[in-house]
Copies of this chain bind each other. A is one copy, B any other.
Amino acid sequence: MGDVELPELLHLVSKRLRHGYVHRLGPLGLTPGQARALRVLADAEQPLRMVRLAEELRIVPRSLTPVIDALEESGLVRREVDPANRRSTLVVLTSEGRAAHETALDARRQAGQELFAVLSDEQREQLKELLSAVDAQFR
């Protein structure tokens, strides 16, 4: 076979990452998408509206709904009506949610380290810069 193209490589490596996440986050009762939402909420350090959270995650609001449904059912977030605009829903991270985020963060770090284990710190930085450049052109 031999010659794997760059797009195909990207796809394969990304699939491995997802695989690692699924297996490490699964025992915590989280999907990668849920863990991502927790991360954004924790980083924001304040409740976020659905539209805003979806933007940060780069998915459409409709796709966020079941993610938040699941997190709410697990008690990791809470929906609140935005007093400033009653059309809006504020997604509030609970203390359980914050704790789950910390655990998930470790799991995600481990999966990341495992995936990029063969790269030196320098190479990892290089990879990050290349991918950043690719990503940035669309933002």
Question: Using a CB–CB distance below 8 Å, which chain A residues touch chain B?
Answer: 1, 4-18, 36, 40, 43-44, 56, 58, 108, 111-112, 115-119, 123-124, 126-128, 130-138
Given A8-B36, A13-B134, A117-B137, 17 further pairs, Cβ under 8 A: A1-B56, A4-B135, A5-B112, A6-B112, A6-B124, A6-B127, A9-B128, A9-B132, A9-B135, A11-B14, A12-B58, A13-B14, A15-B58, A16-B135, A118-B133, A118-B134, A127-B130
Whether A14 pairs with B14 at a CB distance below 8 angstroms is yes
12 A-B pairs within 8 Å (CB atoms) are namely A1-B40, A4-B135, A6-B124, A6-B127, A10-B10, A10-B13, A10-B14, A11-B18, A119-B134, A126-B130, A127-B127, A127-B131
